[in-house]
Structure 1
Amino acid sequence: MTDRFFSVRTHSPKTVRAAALALAMLCGSALSSTLAVAEEQPVKGGEITIINGSDIKSWDPAITNSTFPGGPMDMLDAIYGFIVYVDVKGVVQGGMAESLTSPDAKVWTLKLRPNVKFTDGAAYDAEAVKFNWDRVADPATLSPAQAFVSGWNKSIKIVDPLTIEITLATPDRNFGSTLANLSPFIASPAALKAAEKKTDIKPVGAGAFVLDNWNQGVSMTLKRNPGYWDQPRPYLDTLKFVVIPETNSRISTVVQGGATMMAGYMYQFGSNATAEGVTTHEVPLSGLYRAYFNQAKGVFADHRAREAFYEALQRPRLMKAYTQIDGYVMPTNYFTADSPYYDATYKLPEYNPEHAQELFDALAKDGKPFEIKIVTYSNSDLKRMGSYLQQSLSAYENVKVDLQLVDQAMLPPTCKVQGNFDLCIDGGVLVANGAEPIITNLLGSKGNDNWGKYNSPDMDKALAAANATMDPEAVKKAYADVQKLVAQDLPLYIYGSEARNLLIRNNTGGIVPSNGGILQKQFLFVCKDACTTK
């Protein structure tokens, strides 16, 4: 059997960064021309080790987050497989299921594959899928997808053992991509019922691999699932995950041959990107660098403060402080010029220090001094960014900036849960290869990623309008309204965009990204020789 795979190709940091910044941001995007697609004959057998920055807390398929390479969903996918996934063009594809389709965006039909079984021998059928989704919809499960799934799980109709019909309360053309990102994993109902608590759940799926051993917080080893539905895949005998939180340690481990790959950014790799036996592979999905304005309390509840923040800073210099690299092109709105939704009419404020000072003075005069607490991670990159922000803003009169650095695990509790910030900077880009579900999670009044509590009925209306139609022109018009409101309300501080890259051993084949960049692990294989594109 011959498969078409993304080949691994070596790029200079400058070339890759330029290509990344030119890709469509957070929208359905075409493959970059710098990424070759080659005919490769997969090799069966061998072992690949993927480095992740953190481990999962349990094998509960309902506890999902972070659909990016190197995140916890990487591990869940290896065991359970995505029921559907979003390809790099933003199109929903069948994964463990054959297809998910709708004629009107309201009634959706999920077709399951015949003869698929969980590794305990039970059928991967409509009843198993419904059991999993009903469990996600139960608030007691504490699933991040509870609000999404509870909106439609009671309308599930089992047509036959391989067919499920879902009727939504209102049309949603992005239902498939939202499902792929928020609730894509199906486990054996028997295994879920047998566990008294989440940490007792045994990972019994129908995906490409089965768990061999797990040293929580350190590493895990998975073996090929011999009963996987898509033979002869998976090609690997063994898939390993190693948890290494610190970026430089991850990089040196790959360069020294202690692991196969890690996800990161070209600015982090430096000269390691051209080390012997190593290459880089761009995941062709750009995302936003963003920070959250706290609009529930504090000075950023006043629009003038958000405008002053934009105008007081030079975003290219901020990105250089963060990455130590020049050449970043700044987004002018939520979508870039390569997006089919981009509207050049609406632009974020540019650097204007004189007007920024006027706004700072006006706020002080009105008894709203610009005194802010910036909260971000304690890693070296974000320390540099935080210091740059503190130094640049403190050059203005009537401005006071406090910088608080926290461990990565403490950022969501501090910002999202407690709201204990004025500006919160979440490191890395927020990636999606379609507008949804990311955009509504960020900008919707009830969005799960709306840490700043931005609340606009007009924005909710525009986002709902984009979701409720299958007409491309109507979608584009709705997203023009979204961009108008982004430029008008300034709900986020958008300071850059970037694509993730893999630092990878050059004998690695079968690189097939999905969703936010998670690799489809059933396609991975070890080449007999270096399979770098010539």
Structure 2
Amino acid sequence: MTKTPLAVLTLALLLAGCGSAAGTSGGTTNTPKSGGTLILGENGQEPPCLDPHGNASSDGPVSTVPVADSLVWFDADGTIQPWLADSWEISNDGRTYTFKLRQGVKFHDGAVWNAEALKVNFEHMRDPATKSPLAASYIAPYKDAKIVDDYTLEVHLSSPYRPFLDILAQGYLGMISPKQIKESPQTICEHPIGSGPFVFDKWTKGQSITYHRNPDYKWGPKSAKHTGPAYLAKLEIRFLAEDATRYNALAAGEVHAIDFTPPQNVEDVKANPDLGFLTAIRPGHPMSFWLNTSRPPFDDIRVRQALLAAVDRESIIQGISFGQYQVAQGFVTSSTPGYAQGLAGTIAYDPAKASKLLDEAGWTARDKDGIRLKDGKRLTAYFPIAANFPAQRMQIAVQTQAAARKIGLDIQIQTPPEQELTDRSIKGDYDLTSGLWATNTADVLWIQYSSKNITTDKRRGQNVARLSDSKLDDLLEKARGTADPAELYNQAQSRLLELVPAIPFYDDPRPVAYQKKVRDLAFTPAYPSPYFYDTWLDE
């Protein structure tokens, strides 16, 4: 697997520099202790479904990784290590992967891990009934599989797909009991059964998820610090949506750790000798406002370029994050394998350029409110958002709206009912929408911008910018099938900076604060989220 040096260095430094304290500082001993219940305060993005294959929430891996092991492990240096797969071979044409599977693994319901179990999981990932917004996109090239023997599965792809092993390391593609998939798939969302170090106990929606240790566990990733069952006897994830509530719960000792530490509290955490801090920039696509390129006004590239130039992203992000967030330099984050280092600084804040571009696009007249006109129509863009839109993103939206108005573009923020919002999203009835996509490969660009991923009547795609560019499509398709796609991804990122299908704002961090009694808390490198297998409590 090829990685850019900066991507490896960024993730490694963040994990080592900020995370080493989890295993070496605080407490009274370095000898792990067994027992205790760790409580994690999670933010309000509670998953609607605990089936890892049907989950799109950023909290998804936190709630499913304790239960579901992955086929392979993505190490911090970007190499792929064995886990539930002992080894694998890839055909010369990149279309056939032959997996030799680990023996002796059992799911929590007693089902055996074998070739049939892996095949059943692949079929579940791509089954439309799973309603998978992530897994199905990730394994889209999967064609079928052949059971060679009990512990060997031959997987056939419709086209070469270089990131296949990378994405199989993510918690979103964790393995679920084949017995549950075949006999009671309707129960997976509420009560997933995996082979992981923790067994699911109970989900009290809006409040918490609890787990207990799997006493028979002995097949953790080979990069783990120990073998055998987890140290923690129990694990509880509490959903604490309000930033202040989450931080105060940590400060008061009501929880042992909090995910997504509020940016306004990060410096306080770092200054507190009783607390530790762990962070990493999530690889993938930065938090952005996507522009609908399929209809006016953003079907005109000059209008898209004008809005990008009009927004002072540096000032906005520094303000809303208290200086904690890194401003995005393009369309993949700086921690993503394949990040194009040479393009940093390409996006410039230039209101004069923005006004000139709109003049060139024919929006020269203005109405009494200062909004530009062309052929008697106002330059207006509609931005429908959910009623529970995150506060920080709302601040970005309001400041973007103000910047746009200064150049004569009227962005109207709307809050339609949830069902209307969903319907409009499917139909493409919007001009702006927001989000990010965290994944451990630059293939996120294919997911977000290939014309194959524009939503149709037959398929829900993730190209919400509805961008269709033959040059970009060609670059991304070639990158998927080559062993060394770095230059192709560089060209693709450069092309996107010309096309401006989105306003990229910041590289999304995963900041975790914890009491020093929490030892060996770590991230899963494939998708930075807390991982508790080696974690123990020094109390």
Secondary structure (helix, strand or coil) at the match of 1:373 reads strand
> Aligned pair 1:495/2:505, yes or no?
yes
Q: Is 1:101–1:110's contact at 8 Å kept on the other side of the alignment?
A: yes
Counterpart for residue 463 of structure 1: 476
1:304 aligns with 2:302: yes
Partners of 1:199 and 1:125 in 2: how far apart? 20
Task: Give the structure 2 partner of residue 9 of structure 1.
Answer: none
Which piece of structure 1 moves more, 417-426 or 293-302? 417-426
Change in CA separation of 1:269 and 1:414 when aligned onto 2, cut-off 3 Å: farther
Contact in 1 for aligned 2:289/2:502 (Cα 8 Å): yes
Instruction: Determine the structure 1 residue equivalent to 2:287.
Output: 289
- Secondary structure in 1 matching 2:202: strand
By how many angstroms is 1:225 displaced?
A: 0.5
Aligned to 1:110: 99
Please list the CA deviations of residues 131-175 of structure 1 after superposition, one character each: whole Å capped at 9, or x if unmatched.
222233332332233355464242x12222222121222222111
Q: What is the rounded CA distance, in whole Å, between the counterparts of 2:281 and 2:75 in structure 1?
A: 10
Residue 165 of structure 1 is matched in structure 2 by: 154
1:374 aligns with 2:383: yes
Q: CA RMSD in A?
A: 3.2
- Cα distance in 2 for partners of 1:247, 1:294 equals 32
2:13 is equivalent to residue 31 of structure 1: yes
Deviations 1:155-205 (A, max 9, x none): x12222222121222222111122334852222222233327346864322
- Give the corresponding residue for 2:244: 248
- Of 258, 274, 285, the match for 1:277: 274
Matches within 5 A, 1:54-133: 54-66=45-57, 68=58, 71-102=59-90, 104=92, 105-133=94-122
**How far 1:341 sits from its partner (Å)?**
4.6
Give, in whole Å, the separation in 2 of the partners of 1:130 and 1:340: 30
The residue correspondences of 1:406-485 to structure 2 (distance < 5 A) are 413=422, 416-426=425-435, 430-436=437-443, 438-447=444-453, 448-470=461-483, 472=484, 475-485=485-495
Q: 1:363 to 1:524 in 2, by over 3 A?
A: farther
**For 1:427-472, what per-residue CA distance to the aligned partner results, in whole angstroms no more than 9, with x for missing partners?**
xx64333323x222122223443211112222121112112111x3
SS of the residue aligned with 1:392? helix
Name the SS of the counterpart of 2:451 in structure 1: coil
Distance 1:131 1:493 in 2: 40
Does 2:384 match 1:384?
Answer: no
The change in CA–CA distance for 1:262 and 1:339 in structure 2 (over 3 A counts) is same
Instruction: Say which is worse superposed, 26-35 or 298-307, in terms of deviation.
Output: 26-35
> 1:297 aligns to what SS in structure 2?
coil
Map 1:39-58 onto structure 2 (within 5 A).
40-52=30-42, 53-58=44-49
CA distance in 2, matches of 1:341, 1:147: 21
Q: Are the aligned partners of 2:70 and 2:170 in contact in 1 as well (CA < 8 Å)? A: no
CA distances 1:299-346 after superposition (whole Å, capped 9, x unpaired): 111101111001112211121342243895551564659976525368
Matched, 1:364 2:363: yes
Inter-partner Cα distance in structure 2 for 1:282 and 1:201? 30
- Structure 1 gap ranges (5+): 1-22, 529-534
Structure 2: distance between partners of 1:381 and 1:346 = 24
Distance 1:74 1:346, change over 3 A: closer
Letter in 2 for 1:432: T
Question: How many percent of aligned residue pairs carry the same amino acid?
Answer: 22
CA distance in 2, matches of 1:295, 1:449: 14
One-letter code of the match for 2:439? Answer: A
Aligned pairs (5 A) from 1:331-350: 331=329, 334=332, 336=334, 341-342=339-340, 344=342, 348-350=346-348
Answer yes or no: is the 8 Å Cα contact 1:253–1:259 preserved in 2.
Answer: yes
Alpha carbons 2:448, 2:463 under 8 Å: kept: yes
Q: Conserved in 1, the CA contact under 8 Å of 2:450 and 2:468? A: yes
Range 301-310 or range 197-206, more displaced: 197-206
Query: 1:133 touches 1:153 (CA, 8 Å); kept in 2?
Result: no
The one-letter code of the counterpart of 1:255 is A
Decide whether the 8 Å contact of 1:210 with 1:224 is kept in 2: yes
User: 1:395-406 maps to which residues of 2 (within 5 A)?
Assistant: 395-396=406-407, 398-404=408-414
* Local SS of the residue matching 1:503: strand
C-alpha contact (below 8 Å) 1:31/1:88 kept by paired residues: no
Change (3 A) 1:432 1:269: farther
> What is the CA–CA distance in structure 1 between the aligned matches of 2:163 and 2:148, rounded to whole Å?
23
Question: Cα distance, 1:293 vs. partner?
Answer: 0.6
SS at structure 2 position matched to 1:300: coil
C-alpha separation in 1, matches of 2:89 and 2:256 = 37
Letter in 1 for 2:503: Y
Counterpart position of 1:319: 317
Are residue 511 (structure 1) and residue 511 (structure 2) matched? no
Residue 218 (structure 1) aligned with residue 207 (structure 2): yes
Q: Secondary structure at the match of 2:298?
A: helix
Structure 2 counterpart of 1:190? 179
Q: How much does 1:222 deviate? A: 0.7
- Contact 1:235–1:523 at 8 Å: present in 2 too? yes
Give the aligned partner of residue 10 of structure 1. none
SS in 2 for 1:494: strand
1:146 is aligned to 2:145: no
Q: Output the CA distance in 1 between the equivalents of 2:7 and 2:505.
A: 13
Return closer, same or farther for 1:502/1:99 CA change in 2, 3 Å cut-off: farther
For the Cα contact (< 8 Å) 2:11–2:76, is it kept in 1? yes
**Whole-Å Cα distance in 2 between the matches of residues 466 and 59 of structure 1?**
32
Q: 2-side partners of 1:341 and 1:65: how far apart?
A: 23
Greater Cα offset, 211-220 or 305-314 = 211-220
- What letter is aligned with 2:354? A
In the alignment, the residues of structure 2 paired with residue 440 and residue 316 of structure 1 have an alpha-carbon distance, to the nearest angstrom, of 27
DSSP 3-state at the match of 2:356: helix
Moved more, 270-279 or 165-174: 270-279
Q: Secondary structure at the match of 2:99?
A: strand
2:527 aligned partner, one-letter code: G
TM-score (norm 1): 0.83
Deviations 1:32-63 (A, max 9, x none): 46346467532211111122323333443431
Partner letter of residue 13 of structure 2?
Answer: L
| Contact 1:463 1:479 (C-alpha < 8 Å) held by counterparts | yes
